[in-house]
Every structure is written in C-alpha cells, then in structure tokens.
Amino acid sequence: MSDPVLETDPAGYVYRIGTEEQGLAWIGRESEPVEQPYPVDVEHIEHFVEGIQDPNPLYWSEEFGRQTRWGGRIAPWGVIVLTAEHRVWRPAWMGPPHETTTFFMSVPLPGNRLLATDYEIECFAPLRPGDRVFKSETLMAIVPKTFRVGVGHQVTVKANFRNQKGELCITDSRTVFRYRAAA
C-alpha cells in the first residue's frame, strides 16, 4: 500500500488521497477538541437569524431571554457555522490561519471533491453570547457508492460542539459523497 499524498482542489481545499483500505482503517478515529476561531457573539446570532428570517425573541432580546427558563439570550444551532468561518487572509506576523480540515478531507480516500448528502442536528444545551466553542469529530462510516457525478464513498462524520465549560451543546452528523472529479 502506498503512502497517502496530499492534493489541492481548485478552491484550495487539501485532500489526503489514499486507498479505500487506508480510509476504512480510520473508522472510529476521534479528533482532539479544537477551539473554533470565533466565539459566539450577538453579531453572529443576528446575522444567522436575519438570513433565515427567524423572529424568535430568544435570539433577538436579552431582556426577553431573562424572563424564560434560559435566563438570557441564546443562539440558534446554526451559529456553529459562523464560529468556524475560514479566514481568507491574515497578516504574516499573526502566523498561519486556524486549521479547519475535517475528516471529510483528511481521511485517505481516492476522491478529491465533496457533495453533501445528509445532515442531522441534535441540540442539548444552548450556546450564548460570549461562549467559546470547541469542536471534536468522530469518523463514523465509509461506504462505497456511485452517483451520477461519479464513483466514490459516502463518508459520515459526527461532530460534537461543547462550550468552554465542557458542556455538550450540539452534535451534528454529516454525510458527504467524496469522489474523484472527472479529468
């Protein structure tokens, strides 16, 4: 078996290219928790709920939130996407950008493209303005599959999002189709 190699797609995403056997050996692997680059803040909350036009006052008003069992303003689940936004550019003196590679790209498999196929969210505790978010992942499954776009593998990863107190707030289970783009 040859060693996996790294390959970059046109968008700049880096994939570890290997064999199906190498990828299957990764099932069950867990990543260490990594702090997301941006804490939850009011701007993230409002930006997300503006986009989905959600009028829930728990997302808009600290005063309203204090009158509920939550005791204050909370964030919708989708804010986890905004706490991990990639950095497009940083001054060189600040060092390299935060690493955002996931098992979808780092598991050694033949494919060099991703197509989302399934997404499930579970919420256990709210995130609040000021919370720092820590994400860890577990590679759950790799299944050979063929779709119209090509031959590849469905890869399922479960992510856990915890706050700075270590409380599990959100899990998401995502399945993507990882395949080789036609030449």
What is residue 181's predicted lDDT score, i.e. its pLDDT? 75
Homologous superfamily (CATH) for 7-179: Hotdog Thioesterase (3.10.129.10)
The residue length of the chain stands at 183
Question: 108 or 101: whose pLDDT is higher?
Answer: 108
Cα–Cα distance for residue pair 4/73, rounded to 1 Å: 46
Summarised one tens digit per residue, pLDDT across range 110-158 is: 999 999 999 999 999 999 999 999 999 999 999 999 888 889 999 999 9
pLDDT digits (tens, 9 = 90+) for 46-103: 999 999 999 999 999 999 999 999 999 999 998 988 887 655 566 778 766 655 568 8
Specify burial of residue 109 (Cβ count, 10 A radius: 0-12, 13-18, 19+): buried
Least Cα distance to 131 among 158, 163, 105, 104 occurs for 163
Tokens of 3: 């060693």
What are the extents of the domains in the chain? 7-179
Do residues 45 and 81 touch, judged by C-beta distance below 8 A?
Answer: no
**167-181 pLDDT tens trace:** 999 999 999 999 987
pLDDT of residue 84: 77
Residues paired with residue 75 on neighbouring β-strands, in sequence order = 127
Instruction: Quote the pTM value.
Output: 0.85
Q: How many CB atoms lie within 10 A of CB 18?
A: 19
